[in-house]
Structure 1
């Protein structure tokens, strides 16, 4: 049984009621009109990115309901005839362009605006019209080009002669047996076309020789996978009295938690002003939380593949690739969906329906004790969590992003990677040290998913300090005669010279974010602890193009002083950027980190060595982290949960 939808869809045309509300359709329309009136928009102008210019956290903290709301927007403009680009700061409230800067895409470090949806169509058309590419396909015996996919892939930056300053895509080729076929089952190996999107032509064609195209189809739809199982009985999740959370505009309240739910084209889902009710106080934990970037570098060194590294937020825009979620499939339970209002390539608003899913989940036992000294008296409580999520499809991969709030004050984030592995072709049975042959002649290259969360901390206020906490054994001696003692060692990260940290499971390393000016009942600073799920950091060699562009991926944690202009770990325009923007730039000068407003940049994610079981569609691969209260509360904050009634069930 599919659970029903009592959706609270976001309204697109209303004006913002809070400084952190998402852009409305009316505001997006006004941005384009203001820029037109300022002479900045021509027939060939496109809008790769239109984002709210979020006010400084101090300004937001000072806001009170009913105060006037000033709205500013950062709009990136691109002239598709010349490649010229610029960024405008538009004051929608005043109806004026208040700042403009040219983006020097023709000068080092050559960063470009993110990709447009129309770029994908241009790439496909240009590649298929190129005589050299058509000859290479004919040499492979491929003549029906209607079933060919020329994939539009971010080009990166590799100092290839003639590429500097060009707006480009690189295109790998795939085949389909029919229009519904899975093209990643049939890669055309050894062929790469580099496309100049402004000149609309192939500027470099690389053909390293014919490799057999894998013939076996990779269909995963029900009609191709045999009869379905018949022993799966219905699982119903119902809440007859409705969910326990409330939504007032973007303000979400649940079980002592309150937060504002946001969504933008680049990062997708954003949580603002996350706080927890403690007695008669709403105590802040996070000012802002988002997935600010994700890098997907591949390991295959062949000339047609050694450039592959995608920056899915900065190049492709996570939010613009959000799915329209479906009941009973993507979300299960008593669901509230929120639409997202975004901007198309021409700077006009459109609504992405059901972009955000909000619901509750039972997640097992929260706490329990059996009192063996009191006739086996038992007390237990079930745990419930609030889930705020969305799903984005980036080419072959699908990513689910989930924020979890728990009744004991814990916050967690989880990324679920699924969809299709990217593939290349090899001689059947040849294998490769850089990937897994998942079907005859079909190679799934090794790769990494390096997610980077931006966490603007506000643990009981804006003045925070980070400590690295390790568990260490005590040497045998007078203080530890039997060798059983161990302790926790905390090291303050005092300044940005200590800002880049590696996780270390051997010492249980985690990072404690405290507020020196707020104390718990034991006299210690209140804190939250970031508990990582560590995996390998970036495996590309130092000095490589990938390492320069994905410098944030070389550590599990970076800590920087909060600045409103420090938005993304790889800078504002990472598309085709040579590298060095973002975190490396910010750490060039030493800054103090103690007792101040801080941003944590946490890097995590799997290094994927594909399995046969990942084909033709991949079961979800999980990665994430947890923020746990550590002396933030004076005792277990979930003691007031009601006991389950005798004979009752844990679901409604």
Structure 2
């Protein structure tokens, strides 16, 4: 990765040959692919006769060294690359592995599209679908009947899924819904063209099927949220907030190795998964201990709940079909990230196998998050308070109408948290009537179908080593009786999840259900296994019928928890090839082996997400909605590990006249140091 700290002078790049030599001399095997390595991978594939004019790169990424090979000094280990190649001229999908060290292809497999599915959607295909439809007589006739021309219509390139429509097996498909765009800066999501959908064979460049039920009035609302006529006058009552760290941030970043407040890890990035955190360790009282070997969001799916023939097929795997990492944004200081920011600029391959740098694609910073701990004790005469802070590693991606932020948080007390931030524009439709059961009216005549945003976190646990286990912890209410005369007693029940078949579980808010991940071979000073507890939000799982196509393809989202024995090839919750896969891949196939997971090297998969019944307030652009999970140390430390956090610097939490003023009504308002002020402008 390319590293840039902002604000700073841009780094001077070494000449390509020198840069390659320097990198080769010190490269860690988990350093992400460089532009030079992507060029080299493409060259190797071309020399092997696998790249021609019609070849496109659906995915290219690093094959990480096996977990067992990463424990010692493996600097300079052979670098392997995985490439997924689509050749439209030959109607061929290849899954290829190659060695950068030997310059040779080490493995290749041709996919059977009916059994294996298709490779991910290409960026090139976003435009191809519009080109195909612009030349299709049926599509043009449908637009003419609506008083439209192809030049006025944008077509959303939507993954097809697998359904019982005719003449689709084995074909590379997209489905297209149209939106009228009134001028180049117009947001077409305000003007859905309903009653019309095209099923497009992008491989053979033809329309496979068209559903046209006749013209439906196109909503005429204005969705241009920056238009003064829509937004109104800008507010003038928001004073600046300025985040400053005069001595710089508390973390260090060397290559992709990040260290902060006892934490150290390696920051990775993948075109499919986006951010990947490797080798999370925590050091306390001179002891460095592993916690999580690899953490990523392995999949996310957005299924829609409208059964109309125009939308009943809508479900999008934003990771496996669209590659959230490839679609990552370049971030701007003061807008996307605020404060003393360090950026990383990952490099991905484009459709032609050439490197593309996502400038400032990863944001790293620390932020104040309120009180860490506090107590005023009259008996001891003490009054102590400590401020909390967290390290934030994040990126943002745009997949069609939606934008997602992926935020990993590390805390001073050893807590790990993930938060997804969903924003952007809700998918729209012309509302059939105000009482339509499957969509919300968000503006006059404009509907937003009900849908979900469901994620799967893959947590390759390594709490004090590989021997880990998972127990389910439930609150148990006890009835009145001889041992509970006042009826106030409650306790906690522990259930060991010993095999994969036993570890497909759902959250239960009524029982306060959590899952404790521990190492039975490592005991704390109380004699209990050290561990971490996974706290789920417990939001709804996949809402679709159990025998639906999407339930088979997104089976991971049917349950909140899955636990599997570690296997290098089991990387994705919905399987390797998601696009048009018939279903059953991923977690259902993994757990079918029913392996022993008690005291084993295991992977915890956590499904979580949002069920979205859109509101009028979500239009014309949606305020951020959040979902996520928390991993908290539970017996991992012998006591509160933040007792050594110093109190705030002198003068930063005082009560002198320079630190406070009286608000209306006489309430004292304090200003606690340099983390207040104003940063109102986006920088670069």
TM-score range, shorter chain: over 0.9
TM-score scaled by length of structure 2: 0.92
Residues 472-515 of structure 1: per-residue CA shift (max 9 Å, x gap): 11222222222111111110100011121100010100000000
1:502–1:555 contact (8 Å) kept in structure 2: yes
1:548–1:580 contact (8 Å) kept in structure 2: yes
1:114–1:315 contact (8 Å) kept in structure 2: yes
- Is 2:242 aligned against 1:236? yes
2:60 is matched with which residue? Answer: 50
Give 1:324-473 correspondences, 5 Å limit: 324-375=330-381, 377-427=382-432, 429-473=433-477
1:550 is matched with which residue? Answer: 554
Return the offset for 1:5. Answer: 2.4
Alignment RMSD (CA, Å):
1.5
2:500–2:591 contact (8 Å) kept in structure 1: yes
- Is 2:270 aligned against 1:264? yes
1:491 is matched with which residue? Answer: 495
2:6–2:343 contact (8 Å) kept in structure 1: no
Residues 505-532 of structure 1: per-residue CA shift (max 9 Å, x gap): 1010000000011000000000000001
Give distance in 1, aligned partners of 2:236 and 2:261. Answer: 39
Residues 536-578 of structure 1: per-residue CA shift (max 9 Å, x gap): 1001001111111110010001100111100101110000001
Secondary structure of the corresponding residue to residue 82 of structure 1: coil
Return the offset for 1:147. Answer: 2.5
1:630 is matched with which residue? Answer: 634
Give distance in 1, aligned partners of 2:10 and 2:537. Answer: 34
Return the offset for 1:430. Answer: 3.3
Return the offset for 1:327. Answer: 0.7
- Is 2:530 aligned against 1:530? no
Give distance in 2, aligned partners of 1:403 and 1:220. Answer: 29
Give distance in 2, aligned partners of 1:324 and 1:472. Answer: 49
Give 1:261-340 correspondences, 5 Å limit: 261-340=267-346
Secondary structure of the corresponding residue to residue 62 of structure 1: coil
1:7–1:338 contact (8 Å) kept in structure 2: no
TM-score scaled by length of structure 1: 0.97
Residues 33-65 of structure 1: per-residue CA shift (max 9 Å, x gap): 11111111111111100111111111111335x
Give distance in 2, aligned partners of 1:9 and 1:390. Answer: 21
Secondary structure of the corresponding residue to residue 296 of structure 1: strand
2:329–2:395 contact (8 Å) kept in structure 1: yes
2:107 is matched with which residue? Answer: 99
Residues 414-458 of structure 1: per-residue CA shift (max 9 Å, x gap): 00000000001134x533110101111111000000011110001
Bigger Cα displacement from structure 2, 316-325 vs 587-596: 587-596
Give distance in 2, aligned partners of 1:596 and 1:199. Answer: 49
Give distance in 1, aligned partners of 2:673 and 2:530. Answer: 34
2:501–2:592 contact (8 Å) kept in structure 1: no
Unaligned ranges ≥5, structure 1: none
- Cα distance 1:137–1:184, how it changes in 2: closer, same or farther (>3 A)? same
Secondary structure of the corresponding residue to residue 553 of structure 1: helix
2:615 is matched with which residue? Answer: 611
The match for 1:88 among 96, 100, 116 is 96
Secondary structure of the corresponding residue to residue 44 of structure 2: helix
2:658 is matched with which residue? Answer: none
Residues 161-210 of structure 1: per-residue CA shift (max 9 Å, x gap): 21000001000000112111111100000101111111111111111222
2:182 is matched with which residue? Answer: 177
Residues 364-416 of structure 1: per-residue CA shift (max 9 Å, x gap): 000001011134x2001000000000000000000011000000100000000
Residues 562-608 of structure 1: per-residue CA shift (max 9 Å, x gap): 11100101110000001001111112222101111111111111100
1:217 is matched with which residue? Answer: 222
- Cα distance 1:331–1:580, how it changes in 2: closer, same or farther (>3 A)? same
Return the offset for 1:9. Answer: 7.2
Return the offset for 1:6. Answer: 3.9
Return the offset for 1:141. Answer: 1.4
Bigger Cα displacement from structure 2, 629-638 vs 38-47: 38-47
- Cα distance 1:89–1:609, how it changes in 2: closer, same or farther (>3 A)? same
Give distance in 1, aligned partners of 2:60 and 2:571. Answer: 14
Aligned length, in residue pairs: 643
- Is 2:163 aligned against 1:158? yes
1:579 is matched with which residue? Answer: 583
1:126–1:202 contact (8 Å) kept in structure 2: yes
1:32 is matched with which residue? Answer: 42
Give distance in 2, aligned partners of 1:645 and 1:39. Answer: 64
